[in-house]
Amino acid sequence: MLRLIRDGLPDPDYTEIWVRDDRIVVVHTGTVGDRGKTQEKIANDSEHVERLIAESSAMACEQGFREIREDEWFDMVLQYHFDTCESLPDLLAHRHVLENLVSQNLGWNGYGRVTGGDIGNDRFNIYCRVICPEMAAFSALSELETFGFDEEIIAAFSHGDTYEVVHPLDFKGKFVP
């Protein structure tokens, strides 16, 4: 997937380009925080796929879009503490449901993506790579709440070896992923 951004106030615009089913080039554009719109281009073969990606990318760059710099990405962790009585298969299924909801929310709204997750020590983590970190956290948490996942989820951002918790606001103690 190719992710591009165009600086703007109050929020940047994004363009994402990816291939679905080996021959459909998907171009998704919008303002970060909005679902945006999607255009699909059907290719005849793999060379045509590459050409459509290059053309779509070039067109976005002509409109002021650029690749997202490494220093613009933030590592976000969403953490859920669970009851040790729950079975591992149930916990894994629960984590996958939450991961999918967060992944859809972050991706379709231009914030970023889920990069993985883990389970252990009475908690599970969903790892994400995002831009506009506070907005991304709010959006992901709101999405989870919409679907009835109102468990106490902690949202934190990595700063090297330390973490800054942004939700809940009254979090006390040291965050450990």
Per-residue pLDDT of 6-22, as tens digits, reads 998 788 999 999 999 99
Which amino acid is residue 139, in one-letter code? S
Residue 63 shares a structural domain with residue 78:
no
Query: Does any domain span residue 117?
Result: yes
Read off the pTM.
Answer: 0.88
- In this structure, the answer to whether residues 100 and 58 fall within a common structural domain is no
- CATH label of the domain that carries residue 137: 3.30.70.600
Domain boundary, last residue among 17, 51, 67:
67
Helix (H) or strand (E) holding 97: helix 88-108
**Do 118 and 132 fall into the same domain?**
yes
Into how many domains does the chain fold?
A: 2
Same domain, 119 and 102: yes
Structure confidence at residue 160 (pLDDT): 80
Would you say residue 137 has pLDDT above 90? yes
Residues 138-165: pLDDT tens digits? 999 999 999 887 668 999 999 888 899 9
Give Rg (Cα) of the chain.
18
Domain final position from 67, 97, 123: 67
Angstrom distance (rounded) from CA 106 to CA 122? 26
| CATH number of the structural domain spanning residue 51 | 2.20.140.10
Rounded to the nearest integer, the mean pLDDT of the chain is 92
Residue with tokens 């925080």: 33
Q: Is residue 40 part of a domain?
A: yes
Domain of 77, in residue numbers: 73-167
Check residue 173 and give its pLDDT: 87
The answer to whether the beta carbons of residues 16 and 31 sit under 8 Å apart is no
Please report whether residue 153 resides in a domain: yes
8 A C-beta contact, residue 129 and residue 111: no
DSSP bridge pairs for 66: 5
Cα atoms in the 13 Å half-sphere on the side-chain side of 128: 33
Judgement on whether residues 16 and 84 belong to the same structural domain of the protein? no
What pLDDT was estimated at residue 58? 97
If asked whether residues 47 and 13 sit together in one domain, one would say yes
Examine residue 174 and state whether it is found in any structural domain, yes or no: no
The mean per-residue pLDDT over the stretch 28-50 comes to 95
Question: Would you state the structure tokens that stand for residue 127, as one six-digit string?
Answer: 């790892």
Same domain, 85 and 60: no
Residue 61 and residue 102 in one domain: no
Asked if residues 39 and 27 have their Cβ atoms less than 8 Å apart, the reply is: yes
Q: Does residue 134 have a pLDDT over 70? A: yes
Average pLDDT over residues 45-68: 96
What confidence score (pLDDT) does residue 150 get? Answer: 66
Q: Do 161 and 90 share a domain, yes or no?
A: yes
In this structure, the answer to whether residues 28 and 84 fall within a common structural domain is no
Those residues with Cβ within 8 angstroms of residue 36's Cβ, 6 or more apart along the chain or in another chain:
14, 28, 29, 30, 108, 109, 110
User: For residue 152, what pLDDT is reported?
Assistant: 80
Report the alpha-carbon distance of residue 93 to residue 74 in Å, rounded: 26
Q: Are 162 and 77 within one domain?
A: yes
Cα–Cα distance between 87 and 63 in angstroms, integer?
51
Residue with tokens 């979090």: 171
